[in-house]
Every structure is written in structure tokens, then in C-alpha cells.
Amino acid sequence: MHEARRPTAATLLTIFLAFLTACGGTEPGNGGNETSPPGGDQGVTADAPSPDVAPAGPIVDIRADLDRDGKIDLEGDNDDRDEDKWTNERGAIFLANIDDDERRCQFSAQLSDDEIVRCNDAADEVVNGAADEADLAKMLVKPWPLAPNGTTWMVKVNAEAANYVRLFIRDSGGSLTVYKPEPGPAGTLRAGFELRIEAKDIVRDRTMWDGFVDVTLEVDVDGKKHTDTVRLRVAPLLLHHQVQKANGLFVARDIFPDSKTFVSSFDAATTAANAPKAIKLDVNDQWAQDYFETGYMVMPKAGGGQQVIDVFIRSANVFNPQSKSFPLREAGRIVFAARGPGVAAIQQFDVRHSQEMDTLNSNGNLEVVPPHVAPDGKNHAFGRILRGSVATFFPDPTFQKLLDSQGVQPTIKIDTSWLLVGHVDETLSFVPTTSSARGWTVLVNDAAMAVKMLTDAATAGHRDVKMFQNKFWLDQLNRQLPAETTIGKLLDDTEIMAATAEAAIQVQKQKDILKREVGLRDEEFVSVPFTHYYSDGYSLAYQPGTVNGVVITNTDFIAPVGHGPVVDGVDVFKDQFEKAVAPHGITVRWVENWDLLHRLSGEVHCGSNARREIPADASWWKVIQ
Amino acid sequence: MTAKRVTRSLPFGLGLSLLLLCGAASAAHAGGALFDAAGALGANSARGYRQRIAAARRADARSFRVVARLRALLPTLAKQRRGRGVTVLLPLAALGASGRWAMADELFFSGAGQGTLDAVAWRGWRVSLLEAIGRLRRADMAPLLRAAVRHDDSDARVARAAVEALGRFGDPSDVDLLVNAATQRGRDAHQLLDALGDCRRSAMVTRLTKLLATPGHDTPARLSILKSLGRAGNAYAWRTSAVRKSGEEQAVRSAAAKALIDVYATTTDASERDRAATSVLVVGWSRTPQLIAAAKTRHPQQSESLDSLAKRFARSPVR
């Protein structure tokens, strides 16, 4: 661990607090659901005089928001019918309450990777304010006014879920306190009472906990037990896709001599597009896409709407496997600076995963194919995760298991093992389109087209036209290593040409998988030409990989300046790209990333990140598997 | 400015000449050098290289300064690295042909050693130097690369880079050396085997085809051989003058395509079939449809699968 590279806690917090305030965060309070607890403020009460004998059968009835309308009906059977089952149509939902609503959690460079993740609202047994209460899903126990004296009750959760959830009960003072399973008095049952539930964590491994909890009310009347069980399911962690509107963009602050040009160019692009200005992350790592990802969790909110917790996900990059305290990529700690009201931060990694494959743990290798109905008829309303992963070259299995365990966005795996970096964003990007009912389309590297364009230009007499003019491979060497080349030289460079041919075939295979899995047609792919080169036997973009960009508004796409050959006053690659995306309603905003990113094996998508709006209808419960 | 450079370079040249006169350097194996040059090349040859390097230092001091500066920058570059490793291939390649002596000096004679570099950056440095030298295809570098291949570095990626670099020279007389270096590597053989295809010569394709027919190679090794056949016949590589000059395009690409289609038709291993298909498409040989048709005759039970390959070929972007 390099102390000098640790982010400055105070700066990070300031940045994120400002950002979250600007974005509104999650509204505090107003949580749970509308129905007041039966018995008003009485809450838990002691035994009181009552009939010695129950006139009819006992009322043993625990209810939750089974119909997901934001309230619990104690009358009728809307929130009672089939309550011990959970289906896509019916069943109550709760959240992993892992945000930090009262900003109690420290962000300190001294906290180890294990320590820093431990703090969140579910880490203690108190309700941390009104906003925290809103994150707790409500259950109601229907009053049994005639419960006989001596009747006792208890609430239990099934053993499989017991370690993963916590129950609270509304006491007579109106406060929520942690529920301890012990026999309760009849008086409480007569008045009815309110319970709340939180998950202490998201589901990480369905073989350990599948996210369901069965909450059982057990009532003991004269030694005879009566029970009623309601089943709830924890909200999954969902990832954003690029077609969702960006409400926050991120780049690393200008930490390196080469950063300034990139950062100012990025800012100019967002300004021109009227997109959010990028938050500057105070980290010594320019690959902002790689060390975190953004996601969210949703449950129905009282009175309608959605109760949301945003989630910042640290990458599983293990940069210091020998370090017990700080094994992970340092810049990823930024997620814990983001942690706050309505914002959670998580990490999941296995330090034993192969270092040779660690690059696949960068979140440039974690994208989401936007919503679609697959050829098999399955509605992937939240899209599907897309990762580079093959049998011999795959990301951290524990992180992948976490993703798989969510059950909403199954993973499509493509082969990126032929790339030196190995990320899916090197060859593919998803962008909005106005030209198809699907609403989005795919930009895809077309290396063969690059060769054809260059060959055509050469044939037309432009072999000596320059590319990469005034660009250098390292500025620290006082411009002694010019990158400048010509069309003719490129076409006669064996290693570039060989790598480009292989890239064309490998990307074709990636497209075939998307066609098969998603149902995309050939005409839905937008060709983005650029050539490749080999290093260490693997492929890299030789020309700036213009596919590696960011959707910053519904109509604006940031792409890296390609410094292509200018023929008759026109940069033919720039011109091709702009014309290719124009029919989709997309304007290209060119960002200069040669120095900071391209020559170090990445582009603008690799060097930025985005937080995106939660879908207005994020009812994942309709599609979860 | 020019005068200053010359003045600065003189002490290097003089110093090196003095060392050579004393004979001290001939016995030295600098910490960063891949191997003991005198032992690997013979004392006379090593001395000759040192003299040429000394002359190059006088003629092109800039390249030596740039290589030294790049080496000094590696820790910084390593901190900003992405992916599997650090590559400085393109900066080194930008030095051009005259830079080869500075690179050779760093790699084979006077290299500073790993120092504080981590293993990945250290590997990246040596791999990049080998790649940059190899892509120049200068005959005077071949003996050094042959020695590098024989040296069989303990880091398989460095050993691979040496095989790849020498293979790019396309000298058929190196085929045995290259193939032996790869096949004798043991568990890491697959890492070197996939570099053999950069020797785009008929003799190499023949050896690769024989390797496929030889039992005992594990799946990773067979996948690497199939990849190498694709590299040898790579359609775009054969458009470049450095490769075309051998005059073996038809021999190499047709033989590679045929061998790959045969494996595609006969293997029961899905990963082999996929790799063979990919390589068939990378080769993109114009007579692939006829080769597939012939394979259908030999392997009628694979007709359907061969038809599928033919369809993929028909819509392949590389032909």
C-alpha cells in the first residue's frame, strides 16, 4: 500500500457530500407505509383485563405489503392471501439497510479494507433517524382485541435467514427498538403492533442465503400454538446501463501532468451537451471506470413510489495481495467516501483469485446490456450484465457469484481474453437511439472497416497522409517519441495489421453472442472503425478506441479524439463516426484523451464514470428469477 | 544544443572504449541483462556487439538517453498501468531502427536490472524491448534474439517474447530452434507455442501441423498451436511487405487453413473447435470454401458443423 496515494478523506467527503446534495440523494423520512400501527401510539402493551375466553378462533395475523402498493391493508385479503409464498406477482419486499443515513461512518485512510466496509445503518441495533426508518420495511400484526389473559406471542424468522436480517418493534413510546424473540404479553396482541425489518447485507451467495425470509407470528393460547407466516424478499442490487440518464459524472482530478487536457476537454464536452459537470475524484488513479460501479436497490415506498438506496460498488481489484490490511486497489476506497444518506458502499473480493486475471475485476469489464426481450421470450427489463469471462480467464468468482445471486440481470459472458486489458468496454458500447423501437443500439469496433477505409484512402493516392500528428508516446521525454505515422506505414506494419485482423474476428464472435442472447440484428450494430496492435501477444487499440465512450445525455456521446488521417480537409474516421451515429439522434462530443489515457491502454470510458437516474418503474419484483 | 549532446555523449563512448580495452566488460553479466552475453554469444561476438553499441551511442546518443529515461519512468508508468501488464512497446518502436542498439544494450548488455520495479513492470520492460527489437527485423539483431531464445528465461512471457521476436524475422533456419524452445518449456509450453505463428514460413506451418498430430500435448498447448496457425496465415499480415517478401503466401495460408479445418472436423473438444474456427477466419484464405467442401467429403458425419463454418466464413469481415 502506498500511503502517498491514499485519497484525502476530507476532500473526498466534501466532494461527495456536495454531489449528493446536488443530486438530491434519497429523501429522508416518509418511509415504511402509510398505515399507522394498530392501537395508535400504544405499541407494545402489558397484559390488561380482557375476556377469559376467546369467543371465536384466535386472530393470529401478521401482514406485510404483499401487493406492493406501499401500504398494508389489515382488512380484506390483499395483503394476506398467499402470504407465505413469494412470486413475481405478489410478495413483500425489504431492503438491505446498508446506507449511512446519519453519516456516522468514518472515512479514514487508517481503516483497513476490512474495517472500512463494516460501518452502515444495519451494523448496529438502532434506528438511525427518520431516513433510516424509511429504509425498514413494515409488517403489522393485526389486533386480537379479545386475546385471553395468559396468551403469549413471539415473532420468529426462519433459521436460514436469521443471521441476515434484523427485526424492530414499535414500542409503547412509539420508538422502534430491536426485537428480541421472547414471549410477549397478551395486551400487545390485543392492540396489534408494528414490526420493521432490514437485511444486514445484500445477497452475496444464494447457497448461503437466498434473500427470502419467513417471518412467523406464533401465538400460544393455553399451550396451543397458532402461527401465521409471511414471506419477504430482500431487494437485489441492480446495476445501471448507459441508456439511463446520467445524473452524475466522475473523472479523477488533474493529478498527473497529462490530466489537465483531459479534464478540461471532458468539462467542455459536458458543458456543450448541457450534461452534469463531472465530479473530480481526489484519487491518484485516472481509470475512474475501473475502481467503482454504481447501482441501486429499490422497494415500494409508502404511498407509492420507490424507496431507493444507491449503491457504490468497489471493484474487486486486488493490487496488494500480500497486504493483510490493504489488499484492494486503493482508489476503490472512494466508494466509502460516497457512503451516506441513501447511499451504500460495498465490496466483494477474494484475495486468492489469480493476479493474472485481476484486470477482469476492473469495472470496465462490468457493463449492462440495456433492457430487452431475449429470443427465448424472457423479458430482461433491467438488461443483462456483460462481462469478459471465459473458462481460462475470468473475474473474481466471489464477485461474479454476488452478481449472479441478484437474480435480475443475468450475465452474458464474452471472450475478451485476446485483449491485453480484457474489458468489454474496449470493443462495445450501448447508446440510446431514436431510430428503433428497442430504444438503444450498440456501437461496436469494426477493425476490418478501419483497414478498408485506410486501404481505400491509400488507393486514392493518400498513402502519405499523416495520422497522429503532433501526438507523442510520452511527453515526459520532451516530445522525442512522436506517434506520427502515415496511412501507408500503418498498412505495411505487420504487427498492427495482424492484430487488426484478429480483432475483427474476435469482435465478430462477440457480436454473434449478442445476437444469439439478445436478439440483435446485424443492422443494429453501428460500426466504429479503429485498428489494433499486439503487445505481449495480446491486442490493444492502436488508434484511439472511439467505441470506448460515455453516454452523457440522451443524445450526446463522449468519444476520444482519434487523430485520424485528414483527407481533403476531413478527418475520415471522425467523419465516419459522426455520420454513423447521427441517424440514431446522437451527437459526438470529442474529448482529448491521448496523453492521459490512450497511450496507457485506455480511453475516455475507462477514465470516467457515471451515476444514473433510477428508472421510474424499477419494479424488479416482476422479473426476478 | 547539438554540440552539447555530442559533448555529453563523449564520456560514455570513451568510458566504454576503456572498459573494452581492459577487457573488463566482456566478463560482466550486468544485473539487468537477460543472460551472460559473452557466454551465450562467444567472447568475440559479444565484444563485437559492444563495439557496435559504443559506436551507436556516439552516433545516436538520443536513443540511449531515451531508453534510459523510459526505464527511469517505468515505476511511474507501472502505477498508472491497466490490464495485464505494462507495455512501452510503442514508445520504444518510435525510436526507429537506429534505436535498436540502445535497446539491445539495455536488454543484453548493460541493463540496470529490476531494481525497485515490481514483477509486472519488470516483465513489461523486457517484453517490450524484445518486441520492439523483433518488429524491426534487422539481421544484426538475430544472433542476440537466438541467444535470448536459447536462454529460455524463467519468466514464460519473456521467453515467449523472445520466440515471437525471432520468429518475426521469418528465417526458416530458426524454425527448429523456435519449436524446440516452445515444446521443451514443459507446463508453460502453451505460452510460447502461440508465438510460433509469427514466423510466417512454410517450414513453421509444417512443424505446427506435425505438432497437432503428435499425441501428448495438453489442451492449452493444442489451443496455442491452433492460434499460431492462425497467426502464421493471418490475412492482413500477408498484405505487408515484410511478410510477403518470402513468396510463400499461398503455401503458408492454404496449409494453415487446411490444418485448421481438419482439426475443426475431427476434434471432439469444443474449445479446440472454437479456436480452430477462429483461426480459419483469421487466415481468411480465399479457397477456404473449397477446403471445407473437401473436408465434408472426408468427414461426412461433420457436414452440418462444416456448413456452419462455411457460413461463418462467408460473412467474415476478414477475407
Domain boundary among A171, A202, A234: A234
What average pLDDT does the structure give for chain A? 91
Name the more confident of B186 and A509.
A509
A161 and A261, same domain (yes or no):
no
pLDDT tier at B13 (50, 70, 90 boundaries)? Answer: very low
Could you identify the residue written with the cell 462481462?
A387
Name the more confident of A43 and B155.
B155
Amino acid identity, residue A375?
Answer: P
pLDDT of residue A432 exceeding 60, the answer is yes
Å from A419 to nearest chain B CA? 9
Please name the member of B76, B161, B281 whose beta carbon is closest to the beta carbon of A536. Answer: B161
Mutation target for A interface from B62, B73, B84: give the one with most A CBs within 10 A: B84
Centre a 10 Å sphere on the Cβ of residue A553 and count the other Cβ atoms it contains.
Answer: 18
- What is the per-residue pLDDT for B38? 85
Q: Cell triple for residue B302?
A: 461433420
Is residue B217 within 8 angstroms of chain A, CB to CB? no
Name the more confident of A436 and A213.
A213
Mean pLDDT of A303-319: 96
Name the more confident of A33 and B298.
B298
Which range is least confidently modeled, A351-365, A469-483, B44-58, B152-166? A469-483
A149 and A247, same domain (yes or no):
no
CB A273 within 8 A of CB A320: no
In what helix (H) or strand (E) does residue A490 lie, and over which residues does it extend? helix A487-491
Name the more confident of B180 and A53.
B180
Contact B234 A476 (CB under 8 A): no
- What is the per-residue pLDDT for A150? 96
pLDDT of residue A559 exceeding 60, the answer is yes
Name the more confident of A38 and A570.
A570
DSSP per-residue letters across A223-277: TEEEEEEEEEEEPPPEE--TTSPEEEEEEE-S-STTHHHHHHHHHHHHHHHTPPP
Mean pLDDT of B177-182: 98
Is residue B91 within 8 angstroms of chain A, CB to CB? yes
Rounded to a whole number, what is the largest CA-CA distance in chain A? Answer: 104
Mean pLDDT of A256-281: 96
Residue B94: list chain A partners with CB under 8 A: 473, 481-483
- What is the per-residue pLDDT for A476? 63
A454 and A549, same domain (yes or no):
yes
- What is the per-residue pLDDT for B79? 87
pLDDT of residue A44 exceeding 70, the answer is no
CA distances to A518, A581, B199, B281, B319 from B312, rounded to whole Å, are: 19, 27, 27, 8, 11
Distance CA(A289)–CA(A468), nearest Å, equals 25
CB A546 within 8 A of CB A528: yes
What percent of chain A stands above pLDDT 90? 87
Quick one: DSSP state of residue A195?
E
- What is the per-residue pLDDT for A13? 41
- What is the per-residue pLDDT for B21? 35
CB A529 within 8 A of CB A564: no
A259 and A201, same domain (yes or no):
no
A606 and A532, same domain (yes or no):
yes
Cα dihedral across residues A539, A545, A550, A554: positive or negative: negative
Distance CA(B190)–CA(B227), nearest Å, equals 10
Q: Cell triple for residue A342?
A: 441513501
What percent of chain B stands above pLDDT 90? 80
Chain B residues 16-45 with CB within 8 Å of chain A: none
The tens digit of pLDDT for each residue in A445-465 reads: 999 999 999 999 999 999 999
Mean pLDDT of A178-194: 97
In chain B, which residue's Cα lies nearest the Cα of A607? B82
A226 and A259, same domain (yes or no):
no
- What is the per-residue pLDDT for A123? 96
Distance CA(B275)–CA(B220), nearest Å, equals 11
Chain A residues 389-448 with CB within 8 Å of chain B: 391-392, 419-423, 446-448
CA distances to A500, B219, B254, B303 from B260, rounded to whole Å, are: 20, 15, 10, 16
CB A250 within 8 A of CB A610: yes
- What is the per-residue pLDDT for A55? 52
DSSP H stretches of helix in A382-471: 397-406, 447-457
pLDDT tier at B113 (50, 70, 90 boundaries)? Answer: confident
Q: State the first-to-last Cα distance of chain A, in angstroms, to the nearest integer.
A: 40
Asked, for residue A441, whether it belongs to a domain, the answer is yes
Beta strands at A538-541 and A550-553: parallel, antiparallel or unpaired: unpaired
Which range is least confidently modeled, A334-338, B12-16, B73-77, B175-179? B12-16
Distance CA(A316)–CA(A353), nearest Å, equals 10
A518 and A420, same domain (yes or no):
yes
- What is the per-residue pLDDT for A45? 47
In chain B, which residue's Cα lies nearest the Cα of A512? B312
In chain B, which residue's Cα lies nearest the Cα of A478? B66
Is residue A618 within 8 angstroms of chain B, CB to CB? no
CB B252 within 8 A of CB B232: yes
Which CATH number goes with the domain that contains A188? 2.60.40
pLDDT of residue A259 exceeding 90, the answer is yes
Mean pLDDT of A340-363: 97
Which range is least confidently modeled, A127-131, A137-141, B234-238? A127-131
- What is the per-residue pLDDT for A603? 98
A281 and A167, same domain (yes or no):
no
Chain A residues 530-589 with CB within 8 Å of chain B: 533-538, 540
Could you identify the residue written with the cell 495438453?
B218
A603 and A461, same domain (yes or no):
yes
Please name the member of B83, B127, B316 whose beta carbon is closest to the beta carbon of A508. Answer: B316
In what helix (H) or strand (E) does residue B120 lie, and over which residues does it extend? helix B119-136
pLDDT of residue B74 exceeding 80, the answer is yes
pLDDT tier at A477 (50, 70, 90 boundaries)? Answer: low
Contact B66 A287 (CB under 8 A): no
The tens digit of pLDDT for each residue in B262-298 reads: 999 999 999 999 999 999 999 999 999 999 999 999 9
What average pLDDT does the structure give for chain B? 90
Asked, for residue A437, whether it belongs to a domain, the answer is yes
Asked, for residue A581, whether it belongs to a domain, the answer is yes
Distance CA(A101)–CA(A129), nearest Å, equals 7
- What is the per-residue pLDDT for B82? 87
pLDDT tier at A56 (50, 70, 90 boundaries)? Answer: low
Domain count, chain A: 2
Angular region, A293: left φ>0, alpha ψ -120 to 50, beta rest = beta
SS3 state at A208: coil
- Show me where the domains of chain B are located: 1-169, 199-319
Which CATH number goes with the domain that contains A458? 3.75.10.10
CA dihedral A197, A202, A206, A209 (to 10 degrees): -40
In what helix (H) or strand (E) does residue A368 lie, and over which residues does it extend? strand A367-369
Is residue B73 within 8 angstroms of chain A, CB to CB? yes
Mean pLDDT of B203-228: 96
In what helix (H) or strand (E) does residue A445 lie, and over which residues does it extend? strand A440-445
A152 and A73, same domain (yes or no):
yes
CB B266 within 8 A of CB B309: no
A82 and A228, same domain (yes or no):
yes
Query: For the packed helices B119-136 and B156-167, what is the interaxial angle rounded to 10 degrees?
Result: 10
Contact A497 B131 (CB under 8 A): no
In chain A, which residue's Cα lies nearest the Cα of B278? A505
A183 and A89, same domain (yes or no):
yes
* Residue-number span of the structural domain to which A249 is assigned: 238-287+362-614
CA dihedral B272, B277, B281, B287 (to 10 degrees): 120
Asked, for residue A323, whether it belongs to a domain, the answer is no
